[in-house]
Amino acid sequence: MYHIVTGAAGFIGSNLVKALNDRGITDIIAVDNLKQADKFKNLVDCDISDYMSKEDFIEHLNAGMFDGEVAAILHQGACSDTMETDGRYMMQNNYQYSLDILNFCQDEEIPFLYASSASVYGMGPNFTESREHESPLNVYAYSKFLFDQIVRRRWDEKTAQIVSLRYFNVYGSREQHKGRMASVAYHFFNQYRAGGYVNLFEGCEGYANGAQLRDFVSIEDVVKVNMHFLDNPDQSGIFNLGTGKAQSFNDVAVATINALRSNKGESKLTLEQMHQQQLIRYITFPEQLKGKYQSFTQANIEALRKVGYAQPFFSVAEGTTRYVNYLLSRVA
């Protein structure tokens, strides 16, 4: 029996493939689109039984070629570019693709874990898994929102586990291919090593410089939550996947810089000291993001805790330090 991971060469998908390997699972079908060829590097240290393009996979799925052969599907494949303006492409790639896989899993009565997004909440301020709090701001968010609505309509007739995980701001290993969509921790790491300082946005919507707040969650925690649901196929639902604690972009910058300084034997600095020494600099808030930018996100994780997920989450300082050390090990 195969485990299928879509988006397997991507950020979260490749980490899930590696986590399955760590459990001794190697009968994995990795599905992705390698138009961006560099993503293959994310799978070099992973063991899989086969790779399939997204197009071939859907064709084979709908033709019944996987009937009776699959243990579970972890669906991470999507266009994650929130600035994408081609609505037809977004809906085909994120919505219809997901719907085909959902139908297969329900027909086959197998677990279906899929990536949703905190973007469905729009500007917030309430980030609870409930329809009245959802107001997507772009077509990417709408594609995730709409699929979650379809899932909700099917709860009463579902034949197997369905888990929607609304990822908040995920950062960590295997995201280097994402370019401008990579985490701020990744960008801060590269900026500081290249120029000796990092750039943050000036304040907006009542927030001070760099003080906008997001729920930053480590990829390590994201993997643990996915594995929890894989281990508990009786649990279904739509769940926020964040730490439950918002922290500022300043916090990420300070953690990144201090981790790099510590690696060189230099003392840690405060935010004020970094600003005084021009290690943190503030740039003009982009005009095109005004009114479309989440200045605050914070996952309500009560639903996740209620189903028994009790493990603590890494703070920004903890998770970023681990991530910086990982990145340094790759460039040394």
pLDDT on residue 80: 61
Catalytic residue among 95, 97, 140, 167: 140
Half-sphere exposure of 293 (CA within 13 A, CB side): 16
The pTM of this model reads 0.94
The better pLDDT of the pair 189, 294 is held by 189
For CATH 3.40.50.720, list the domain ranges present in the chain: 2-171+217-243+298-314
Catalytic residue among 18, 54, 178, 245: 178
**pLDDT surpassing 60 at residue 190:** yes
Judge whether 309 counts as a catalytic residue.
no
**pLDDT surpassing 60 at residue 84:** no
The residues, any chain, with a CB within 8 Å of residue 266's CB and separated by 6 or more, are none
The topology under which CATH files domain 2-171+217-243+298-314 is Rossmann fold (3.40.50)
Average pLDDT over residues 51-78: 93
Token pair belonging to 203:
């304040």
Amino acid at 71: A
Rounded Cα distance, 123 and 298, in Å: 11
The topology under which CATH files domain 176-213+247-296+317-331 is UDP-galactose 4-epimerase; domain 1 (3.90.25)
CB 217 within 8 A of CB 167: yes
Judge whether 121 counts as a catalytic residue.
no
For CATH 3.90.25.10, list the domain ranges present in the chain: 176-213+247-296+317-331
Residue 318: what are its φ and ψ, rounded to 5°?
-70, -50
Token pair belonging to 36:
């961006």
pLDDT tens-digit map of 131-147: 999 998 888 888 999 99
pLDDT tens-digit map of 143-177: 999 999 999 999 999 999 999 999 999 999 999 99
**pLDDT surpassing 90 at residue 321:** yes
How far is CA 2 from each of CA 5, 38, 78, 297, rounded to the nearest angstrom?
Answer: 10, 25, 21, 36
CB 68 within 8 A of CB 23: no
CB 241 within 8 A of CB 165: yes
**pLDDT surpassing 70 at residue 319:** yes
